[in-house]
Structure 1
């Protein structure tokens, strides 16, 4: 099985070279623990490799995402990067090519994802980020979201995407978390102890790995495992 580099050297080593190609990986942990930073670093690596990139952002506008990535010195302006903006409608500033008008309308999101997949057919390597499933679960019917996520994953896998999906810990009932764990190919957990951050690879398809907690720091260059 091919591997897709995250751009985080220590993590790629733990995973035998990177995430399994065409896999769907859930990042779960408390707010502020580094999940979004890891996802953005994953996308930055994709820009370097000239992969097709789909970034579904529901918690911040595309400009804020780009500003965050630039703060680490990562390139953001690339014809291979497409945002699906599910945030800007909340602040009355919807603009861009793929902008949602209401997060409660899952069909609108599904259409936008299909449109980006069609636009990025020419790319060999493809990556996607969904930040976050928690926000969609809050705004849309949760039972519909839980049914939509595996359909979305299957669609992106068929199209060749390696997918990172973010879930906030402590926000959802255990049944929802267990279901989302079941439909993804791997899980990376995050936790904080005081001012220290840790991650562990809880589960990963087709990968031999340790399940130990590993401390990491968010530096001015991104995530670095200790």
Structure 2
């Protein structure tokens, strides 16, 4: 069964994606990439889907607060991998798991595999994953190492019929980096901020021609 994306993603782009889909969410800093991903997770939570967030920017407690504002569903399954080693997650034991730094790709992978087992044990077979962000990881690891890690990570999502969304800031990287990482994803949601204000979004990939730019706000 497809994953409905909700009203956050304008209908001309895609109102749903199939199980196993991995999406690159590309846009400049402060363009709302994380908010978009959390809204898609929250929409799923209201339908009984589980949520997993990997954060390499802000602490797990902050991400959890943002998520709960969007998805106040008490019984929702949510797990967060905090890769910045932040403190203040003590009252979220069992929800937030920490690794030492965004460069600890092995640790992130181990925690993700443990969450996969935990979700299965709790009878949760539909999961939406948000990764914030690949740009932060590229400050710690080189492109080749990140590509190998993401190849395994996205294949895990695909094999379990989950969906994944991965944020990146294209302005922070050479075109070669973006082009290389694009190979790992089924499609891209591109966000831009025009000079006259507002935000616009379009979709590329997903087996279709690029869509037109449409308002996101």
TM tier, shorter chain? 0.7 to 0.9
Secondary structure, aligned partner of 2:43? helix
User: Using the alignment, how far apart are the partners of 1:125 and 1:22 within structure 2?
Assistant: 10
Cross-structure match for 1:86: 83
- How far, CA to CA, are the matches of 1:10 and 1:38 in structure 2? 8
Q: Distance in 1 between matches of 2:87 and 2:59?
A: 11
The count of aligned residue pairs is: 210
| Partner Cα separation in structure 2 for residue 24 and residue 132 of structure 1 | 14
SS of equivalent residue, structure 2 residue 103? coil
Q: Which runs of 5+ in 1 are unaligned?
A: 218-226
Shift of residue 102 of structure 1?
2.5
The CA distance in 1 between the partners of 2:80 and 2:73, in whole Å, is 11
Cα distance in 2 for partners of 1:60, 1:21 equals 28
Between the aligned partners of 1:192 and 1:211, the Cα distance in structure 2 is 17
Q: Match for residue 196 of structure 1?
A: 198
Kindly report which structure 2 residues correspond to 1:62-77, keeping only aligned pairs within 5 A, or say none.
Answer: 62-71=60-69, 73-75=70-72, 77=74
Alignment match, 1:162:
163
Partner residue, 1:151: 152
Structure 2 counterpart SS, 1:189: strand
Alignment-derived partner of residue 36 in structure 2: 38
Corresponding residue for residue 186 of structure 1: 187
Shift in Å, 1:78: 4.2
**CA deviation after TM superposition for structure 1 residue 74, in Å:** 3.4
Moved over 3 A (4+): 76-79, 91-97
TM-score (norm 2): 0.87
Uncovered stretches (5+) of structure 2, i.e. residues with no partner: none
Q: 1:68 Cα shift?
A: 2.8
Aligned to 1:142: 143
Match of 2:19 in 1: 21
TM-score w.r.t. length of structure 1: 0.84
Deviations 1:103-161 (A, max 9, x none): 22211111011011111122232211111111111122332111111111001211221
